[in-house]
């Protein structure tokens, strides 16, 4: 019988929970609201109930699980489980998410960056399957990023997750909470488009995209700035990693994939130091399941 793990993808607006087998197939799933502002304890309770319901639907007992993997936007402390993300998960900061779940379910629980989880999922069952070197950018509430080297997720000093979304593309650009100015996230993430669009009366990032598609000049300029930031950022990633494949995912990245693929492919075409025809730009194949599948895959890896 195939081993099963629970994968949890914690996003700014929703939490996806799935029972996933070793091939990356999702056997059962639940989605609940994150509602971070309501507090950590309430969010933890919703998450735990969703895990209970998912296991029941999949017909698996906690004792039979390979474990529970949690994909979460950083920063956080992987060892202690302490969430330090005041930006995406306001109200959760300072809380340990691991210990209560270990105590409740009696199974190993691990925490991994959400972009790392998404790339792990794509490597197991999606668009990065078979790739030796891959880089993924997830475009949404923030800009997540991850790199896969020889089948393993790249970890930096102290085992930390590299923050690819905070590569600077315009030193004179907007300030970012990361402490720098003009990083990819500060120019291309959903909140960046929303802030730029507010001055022109747009309600949010999707309103900016809609107005741009209708030909509105200010909206088109905002979207073009986002694409330019992506192009410059991908240029840096190409020369840092020389990946075989660049994946674009995340809610906004997938909805507007044509825009971001075009930006990334322009960077590839200009990269005269990169091998011609060796770098592909592709859409993440698993959609909203990528982080959930990848978080589960973390627990299904051989010991």
pLDDT tens digits along 162-202:
889 999 999 999 999 889 999 999 999 999 999 999 999 99
Mean of the pLDDT values across residues 134-151?
91
Q: In the chain, pLDDT over 90 holds for what percent of residues?
A: 74
Report strand pairing: 152-153 vs 143-149. Answer: antiparallel
Rounded CA separation 56/50 (Å): 10
Is the pLDDT at 13 greater than 60? The verdict is: yes
Entry field: residues in the chain:
303
Of the listed ranges 57-61, 66-70, 89-93, 269-273, the one predicted with least confidence: 89-93
Is the pLDDT at 270 greater than 80? The verdict is: yes
Average pLDDT of every residue of the chain: 92
Is the pLDDT at 1 greater than 80? The verdict is: no
Q: 218-253 pLDDT, tens per residue?
A: 999 999 999 999 999 999 999 999 999 999 998 899
Mean of the pLDDT values across residues 70-84?
86
- Tokens 């993430």 correspond to 189
pLDDT, position 288:
84
The CA-based angle 184-260-258, given to 5 degrees, is 165
Q: 19-46 pLDDT, tens per residue?
A: 999 999 999 999 999 988 889 999 999 9
Mean of the pLDDT values across residues 124-132?
92
User: 78 or 99, which is more confident?
Assistant: 99
pLDDT band at 75 (very low <50, low <70, confident <90, very high): confident
Is the pLDDT at 302 greater than 70? The verdict is: no
pTM of the model: 0.86
Residue 3 φ then ψ, to 5°: -70, 150
End-to-end distance of the chain based on CA atoms, in angstroms?
18
pLDDT, position 162:
86
pLDDT band at 105 (very low <50, low <70, confident <90, very high): very high
Residues 6+ apart with CB under 8 A from 92: 36, 40, 43, 83, 85
DSSP 3-state of 36:
helix
pLDDT band at 303 (very low <50, low <70, confident <90, very high): low
pLDDT band at 91 (very low <50, low <70, confident <90, very high): confident
Is the pLDDT at 86 greater than 80? The verdict is: no
């Amino acid at each position: 019988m195939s081993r099963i793990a629970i994968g949890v993808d914690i996003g700014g607006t929703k939490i996806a929970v799935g029972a996933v087998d070793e091939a990356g197939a999702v056997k059962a799933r639940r989605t609940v609201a994150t509602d971070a502002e309501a507090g950590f304890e309430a969010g933890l309770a919703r998450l735990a109930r969703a895990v209970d319901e998912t296991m029941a639907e999949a017909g698996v007992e906690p004792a039979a699980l390979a474990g529970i993997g949690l994909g979460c936007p950083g920063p956080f402390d992987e060892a202690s489980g302490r969430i330090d993300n005041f930006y995406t998960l306001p109200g959760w900061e300072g809380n340990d998410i691991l210990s209560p779940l270990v105590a409740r379910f009696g199974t190993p629980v691990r925490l991994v960056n959400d972009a790392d989880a998404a790339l792990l999922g794509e490597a197991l069952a999606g668009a990065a399957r078979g790739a030796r070197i891959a880089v993924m950018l997830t475009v949404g509430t923030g800009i997540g990023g991850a790199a896969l080297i020889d089948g393993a997720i790249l970890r930096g000093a102290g085992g930390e997750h590299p923050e690819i979304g905070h590569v600077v593309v315009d030193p004179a650009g907007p300030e970012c909470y990361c402490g720098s100015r003009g990083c990819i996230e500060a120019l291309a993430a959903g909140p960046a488009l929303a802030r730029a669009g507010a001055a022109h009366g747009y309600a949010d990032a999707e309103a900016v995209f809609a107005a741009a598609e209708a030909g509105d000049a200010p909206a088109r300029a905002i979207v073009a700035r986002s694409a330019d930031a992506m192009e410059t950022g991908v240029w840096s990633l190409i020369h840092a990693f020389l990946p075989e494949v660049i994946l674009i995912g995340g809610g906004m990245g997938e909805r507007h994939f044509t825009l971001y693929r075009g930006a990334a492919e322009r960077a590839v075409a200009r990269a005269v130091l990169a091998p011609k025809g060796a770098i592909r730009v592709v859409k993440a194949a698993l959609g909203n399941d990528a982080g959930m599948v990848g978080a589960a895959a973390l627990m299904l890896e051989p010991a």
